[in-house]
A = this chain, B = another copy of it.
């Protein structure tokens, strides 16, 4: 297989590493135990019970209720380039709502044209992730939203700068409406809360696979069904399962051993988390090339081939890869219509003009 033979010198090593990777995967507790690995489904159509349809909507947590005012505010903040030092980068710059929620770059680029270390994950359905970022370092969308605004390679503002910029253009009344009863509602915490509330509306139900799961056996093409069978039988499903087909746990990725980015170990400090990353959720994956935490796989074909070999020790044939890719295309859902919101732009205060 070309993709592997290009790295043929490393094959023996990788084979060993792959076994440890799989063990690591299991240890991370994210992947299904062997007796539920989805090899055979209990449904008459052979579909594994490890899959679940994508919910139509996400629940808002009790400590951040999703009121219309807050969601509207979060919608504006998501598109607000004032939240970056240059004034041209918004959340939507890297998480483009019209392009699968990603920037289609290997790694993100931000202020000063500085590049970050990782591929921008999609904002769509992020509400259902067990943790945010490729290393899971933020537990909630609220916590996540604070990261990029402050990151030197992304938006590069201090919380105080972010607040001041929003104040100057007239956000105060909108925060007062979104956070009623608070004495000083324009805070960094509330910026993050509003953005998170908006992000919980970015859900993409209605994919062909969801219709299939719900009993419409014609929703998948024969090739897609073949791909689904491979996905289940080869063991992809042991990590990529649930409503997001991933996103609920972590797995070792021996493919990148030796690279600078050690993954989750930087968060936990644990040796066993070196080169462990969040299992990628696969919803809308056909739209979110390139792949992996470092964007190193340019195409879905490449990603499937590498995953098969590195994680499962399976050298998928070109036909198998094609079929799995066809199945993965069935995970593209229906995207909500998102307007470009009208952002507050009040006049800057008048200067003191004296004779």
Contact = CB atoms under 8 A, between A and B. Distances in A.
B103 A353 contact: no
Contacts of A338: 339-340
Interface stretch (A209-217, A234-242, A343-351): A343-351
Interface in A42-84: 76, 79, 81-82
B105 A353 contact: no
Nearest to A75: B98
Contact of A103 (B81, B93, B286, B300): B81
Interface residues of A, number: 60
B301 A350 contact: yes
Nearest to A286: B347
A23 interface: no
A86 B109 contact: yes
A340 B92 contact: yes
Nearest to A329: B347
Contacts of A82: 104
B92 A353 contact: no
A122 to B, nearest CB: 11
Nearest to A349: B299
Interface in A274-302: 286-287, 289, 298-302
A321 interface: yes
Interface string A311-355: 000010110011001000100000101111111010111111111
A99 B333 CA distance: 30
A301 B348 CA distance: 9
A113 interface: yes
A342 to B, nearest CB: 5
Given A342-B98, A343-B99, A347-B329, A305 B113 contact: no
A298 B351 CA distance: 9
A2 interface: yes
Contacts of A351: 2-3, 298-299, 301-302
A318 to B, nearest CB: 4
Q: Which one of A305, A343, A351 has the highest number of Cβ atoms from chain B below 10 Å of its Cβ?
A: A351
A24 interface: no
A306 to B, nearest CB: 11
A267 interface: no
A96 interface: yes
Contact of A97 (B96, B298, B329, B340): B340
Q: Which 10 A-B pairs have the closest CB atoms?
A: A113-B113, A318-B353, A301-B350, A287-B345, A98-B340, A99-B343, A299-B348, A98-B343, A112-B113, A338-B340
